[in-house]
Structure 1
Amino acid sequence: MLIYHQGSDVALIEAFEEEHDVTVNREALNGSEWATRYISETDAGETSADVLNFNGGLANLLTPAIDTIQSVDTPNQDKVYTGALGSSIEESITNIFGDDAKQLIHTAYHNPFCFLYHEEAVSEPPATFEDILDSRFEGRIGAAQYAMYNVLGTMDKFLGYSTEEAENYLADFGEQDIQWGGIVDMPQTILSGEVDVGFWMLLNRVPGFREDGAPLGVTLPPKTGTSTGHYAATDAGDNPELAREFVKFAMTEEGQELVTEGEGGSEPINPDMSGRSEYIQNQIDEYVDEMYAVIFTEEESATYNQRASEILGF
């Protein structure tokens, strides 16, 4: 069996191999590589991956090949689509893939967006979008350029801002003399003292640093977005039955415990399960009132990318 994956669910894969006495060949593909490769292979009539694992922000890239995705009924499926988070997942994937989306695209975990800060440098950390614009943070904020379309889209589509308000916010944010960098490297950039705050970072970057005693703190806006992780079973590989079994396994409580452990702090999508990191769960409980899955259609992604680039002069 072959999986194109994000590379962090090794524990899940190994447990599946042991339970089914099979070998799962893994191709860890970054960004949109999984979609480019899979669609290229299926368009050419070639054998491809049995299972796809991808970020919800890139789910729309699967649209041209959705006819190659198998329908699977998974454990705890109804629990996924409860509350603001579950409803936003259901609405978003249905908008992209149609009424059968819940049987095609399976959400296993999520990773909330947040604000990071240096606990020794910031006595009053930002806890809202408006706090980020405070003059005391000017020149001391780190952010990723490629995440700015995500900020604009999340505010406009999910958080109750009008399009004009969201665009004005992004323009004001750009006036803060932002230090642009990458999401993966930003915790270390904060701890080195180059910046004090990381804007729109991913929560699963935090537990490892805190376990090592680093003064890396986190807050979340009362309404925020979260990056979702998905699985899909294809009929383009040599093992369609095993592909269905793998997706089912990923959605069991055992499977979700394994995949969230591998993600280093991501939250299981099943609301009955607690997250891996007590610190992360406490931060979510303390700060967050509503959380929405950041999943855009292809048209929305293109629009938000263009507007963010125009507003910030990228």
Structure 2
Amino acid sequence: MVSPSHLRRLGRTDIHVSPVAMGTWPLAGISSINVTDEASIATLQAAVDAGINFFDTAYVYGYTGESERLMARALGRRRKEIVIASKGGLEWGPDKKQVRNGRPETIKRHCEESLKRLGTDVIDLYYLHAPDVNTPLAESAGAFRELLDAGKIRAVGVSNFEQVTQFEEFSAVCPISADQPPYNMLQREIETTTLPWCRANGVSVMPYWPLMKGLLAGKLPRNHQFDPNDKRLTYPLFQGEEWQKNQDFLDSIRPIAEESGKTVAQLAIAWVIQRPGITSALCGAKRPEQIRETAVAMDWTFTPDQLARIDHAITERGPVKAR
């Protein structure tokens, strides 16, 4: 179990979460291969045993909510031990492509369905998964405010907001407790855009992609041959010159991890959760050993020398072409 002293406050709420959260997108089996219910359930249970109390899912994590259903099966009996975050406002179209839908009636329907899938009376943190250009943010926020007032959710979050004006429009109608953007050692755009606003307004930042879809785990060799069904092949950072630059970066930080008896993945995650303004990092996993390794990052504090060496490596790598 996680030590109470390690837990961090979620926004200005009375909810406290572990610095590492388990992201359950891999359990959906849509972009990950070799996913089984047995391994997924074992991974969720291993996360709690390793000191993680924060679990992140979404309405679209699976074509029929597979991740939420697996969470209910694996953690239903431990509901009082965990904090559940889910997201609405994104759904699957008939062509199995994701569609943004932030209409109030959709938000409320997604929440009700997620509550049933999760087998719970309340979702601790509920996000708008992404802004919908066809629905004013104030209208989407109104639905979240209704859910909050009705006691169906305990706190409200937003995800994939890229402009401060979006936060201001939403928060004028409904208080925001958390933000979920992409962020890692090589993708740091939020440091000069939305992160300062969140810090000034008491909003927790819960980044996804701390390992850049597994790249920063440091386990893929330069000559790695991706499975043709692996959707990471669609991202520039896994191709050509970008791939080689990323491998050079990993070679530069690997000694820092090895000197401390840690892995590159633990270094990458520890770096994120030690950044100012970051409350918890979302780390995906589909096998127990993956989440156990990840959890160790919560207990590692860098020395000034280690931080300086990491900063130098990041500067040498330069900006990435991520999408």
**TM-score normalised to the size of structure 1?**
0.27
**TM-score normalised to the size of structure 2?**
0.27
